[in-house]
Amino acid sequence: MTTPPEHSANPHTEELTARISWIIRLRWVAAAGVGATAWLAPRVWGIDLPAVPLYLVTSGLAVYNAVLWSIKRWLPAVTRGLGLTLFANLQISIDLLFLTALLHLSGGVENPFVCYYVFHVVIASILLSRRATYLQVGLALALFCGSAVAEFSGLLPHYHVTGYLGHELYRNPLYVTGAAVTVGTVLFFTAFMATSITARLREREAEILGLSSSLEERASELQQALDGLQRLEREKSEYMQHAAHNLRSPMAAVELSLAVVAEGRAGEISDKGSTMLQRARVRIGEVLNLASDLVALSRAREAALAVDSESVDLAHIVRNSEAEFRQSAEAASITFVTRCSATPVEVLGDPGALTELLRNLVSNALKYTPTGGEVRIELEEGEDGVVISVADTGIGIEAEEIDRIFEEFYRAKSARESGKEGTGLGLSIVKAIAESHGGTVSVDSEPGRGTTFRVSLPTARSAVISQART
Amino acid sequence: MTSLAKPKILVVEDDADTVEALRALFEHEGYEVLAASDATSAFELNQTEKPDLIVLDIMMPSGTEGFHFVWRLRREGDEACRDVPIIVVSAIHETFPLKLYPDESDPVYAPNEYLPVQAFLDKPAEPSQLLDEVRRLLKPGGAAAVD
């Protein structure tokens, strides 16, 4: 006998084992049904059946099923040695024999229960290969026709079932032929439909198995690519920090030397010389700021790769930085307002980075707000997160530039024209820090009226929930 | 011994130009300046010269030697010179995210986790700010030395 196509040994074996258990359970029901019918028929419906042979066959069926159950339960090695497919094939063939014997004892070809052959064919289609199913159909038909012909020709005795079936139908050649053709076509057609459906299901199953394994493959490829990119990003970041630091060291030495000389601390110096040296210091200061911002930016990006999260109280950060901001605001005659809750407002993150974020936004606001203006920090905690907003009444940003201001080194036209120094990295740092904390930055601005930056961060609680989801 | 009246400052710094700038700055203010370019010679110099103040860099040729120097000095230095005030002038915060100097409003770090130094200035230091710190730290000791 051929084995059904095996896509993957294990799932199929498992399925076959489960199905065999299922047939054994069905067989108990069948044996009980036949036994009950044989007992009830003469007593309740007044049908005359050959009681002793029927009970014998039914007992045979029960014993046979008990043997199968024991083999399956206690001697799985036997079924494995036999091969599960052969085990299933044998069972169906023996079941067909029992059905034929039972039918023979209860009217043979006259008994409408001949349609029960269909059940066996459906079970075979589910369990066996297409070819094995058709062989079982052939066996069923041969048994049916064989017993009909044997009874017709008198080779086997006919058990007439009085009080139930018509007279002498088994001797009517037209009826016997008709019954054989009906049973034959029903069986073959059933086998055809059931095996087709089973085959299609098996194909789908194989496709899904193949798809899921290729998906797993793709996922692991993508993961590898992602790991590679992250490693590259880390290397880039280390390189940038190293370069910036190496740039800073000599610049710091130059700055100090210029400062000492410019301030006349290394001896008398002309006013003109002092002015020039002071201007040189300002330019060196630009380079130093650029190096600092590059380090801050790459550190913020690195944080996105490995966030060492701790619970951080943003209200504390705002209050802590307030004095420093207020001093700068007063120096520039700008009104400085903070509105922030007295109770902790907690997010998960890096306190240093979040302080850096706030400092960048506020120093930007102070830088681009003219004398007499106002800078306002607000910290609000909502249902789904925390919003820090920094609003100013400064020079504002043109609408078409809004999308570009977070780009590295980009400075808005109004900022460039203001004559204030800037590296163009401050907002990139803000954005990188916000994103590394699972947040976003938005901006509203009107040229000449002012700008409001809003940083939304998930609260410590919601961040834990979203991490648990991923 | 003309320098007896002058407070002595030991500059521990591997960058020669920075040393020269600091020397010019401090000498102009009337201090005597000693210099060491690594932690080992700085430790020796502190033992023999007993400066009144140390201005210390952290990042030196073989890494964060400045840290090592501070702890060694505080633990192994002679009693007469181990408590010398130290001002750290370093760009360490550029590469190192931890704060190394006391900030009482910061609840994250406990005081004994800080470096046992008296002041910490980020590089490049403003000369006037550095001199303010020097004057502040030399006040009690410096007055005694001049006496």
**Residue A470, pLDDT score:** 47
Helix (H, G, I), strand (E, B) or coil at A174: helix
Looking at residue A340, its pLDDT comes to: 86
Tokens of A31: 């044996």
Smallest CA–CA distance, residue A462 to chain B, in Å, is 23
Q: Distance from B45 to chain A by nearest Cα, in Å?
A: 23
Asked if residue A388 has pLDDT above 90, the reply is: yes
Say whether A391 sits in a helix, a strand or coil.
Answer: strand
* Percent of chain A residues topping a pLDDT of 90: 34
A66–B contact, CB cutoff 8 A: no
Q: What span, in angstroms and rounded, lies between the C-alpha atoms of A49 and A73?
A: 35
A257 — contact with chain B (CB < 8 Å)?
yes
What is the interface size between A and B, counted as CB pairs within 8 Å? 66
> Could you tell me the residue ranges of all domains in chain A?
9-220, 307-470
A222: number of CA atoms within 13 Å, CB side?
A: 6
Name residue A349's beta-bridge partners: A310
Higher pLDDT among residues A169 and A185, named by residue: A185
More reliable by pLDDT, A114 or B20: B20
Sorted by where each begins, the domain ranges of chain B are 2-142
**Mean of the per-residue pLDDT values for chain B?**
80
Contact status, residue A392 vs residue A374, Cβ threshold 8 Å: yes
- Which of B121, B113, B64 has the alpha carbon at shortest distance from B88? B121
Q: Give me the mean pLDDT over the B96-104 stretch.
A: 55
Closest CA to A165 of A116, A109, A102, A118: A109
What is the rounded CA–CA span in Å between residue A387 and residue A361?
13
Q: Which pLDDT does position A301 carry in this prediction?
A: 76
CB proximity A252 to B under 8 Å: yes
CB contact under 8 A, B17 and A263: no
A260 touches chain B (CB under 8 A): yes
For residue A408, give both structure tokens.
């590295």
Residue with the two structure tokens 């030395």:
B145
pLDDT of res. A177: 85
Q: What is the model's pLDDT at position A189? A: 86
Helix (H) or strand (E) holding A233: helix A173-262
pLDDT (0 to 100) of residue A163: 65
Q: Of all residues in chain B, what percent carry a pLDDT higher than 90? A: 41
Please answer yes or no on whether B28 and A254 come within 8 Å at the CB atom.
no
- For position B142, what pLDDT does the model report? 42
- CB-nearest to A255 from B22, B29, B124 is B124
B61 touches A at CB < 8 Å:
no
Residues 224-243 of A with CB under 8 A from B: 241
Architecture of domain A307-470: 2-Layer Sandwich (3.30)
Contact between A266 and B25 using a beta-carbon 8 Å cutoff? yes
Interface of A with B in 279-308 (CB under 8 A): 288, 291-292, 295, 299
Sequence-distant (≥ 6) Cβ neighbours of residue A211 within 8 angstroms: none
Biggest alpha carbon–alpha carbon distance for chain B: 48
Q: What is the mean pLDDT of residues A151-180?
A: 79
| Secondary structure percentages of chain B, helix, strand, coil, to 5 | 45, 15, 35
Between residues A65 and B117, the one the model is more confident about:
A65
Residue-wise pLDDT tens digits, B57-89: 887 777 778 888 888 898 888 888 888 999 988
Fold (topology level) of B2-142: Rossmann fold (3.40.50)
CA gap B69, B73 in Å, rounded: 6
Tens digit of each residue's pLDDT (9 = 90 or more) over A288-301: 888 888 888 887 77
Mean pLDDT, rounded, for A17-28: 87
Q: How confident is the model at residue A184 (pLDDT cuts 50, 70, 90)?
A: confident
> How confident is the model over A232-245, as a mean pLDDT?
84
Q: Poorest-confidence range of A391-395, A449-453, B115-119? A: B115-119
> What number is the ipTM of this complex?
0.80
Which long-range CB contacts under 8 A does B3-6 form with residues at least 24 apart?
Answer: B3/B32, B5/B145, B5/B146, B6/B30, B6/B31, B6/B32
Q: What whole-number distance in Å separates Cα of residue B47 and Cα of residue B76?
A: 10
Tell me what pLDDT residue B121 has.
Answer: 85
User: Shortest Cα distance from A244 to chain B (angstroms)?
Assistant: 9
Q: For the ranges A147-161, A167-181, A249-263, which has the lowest average pLDDT?
A: A167-181
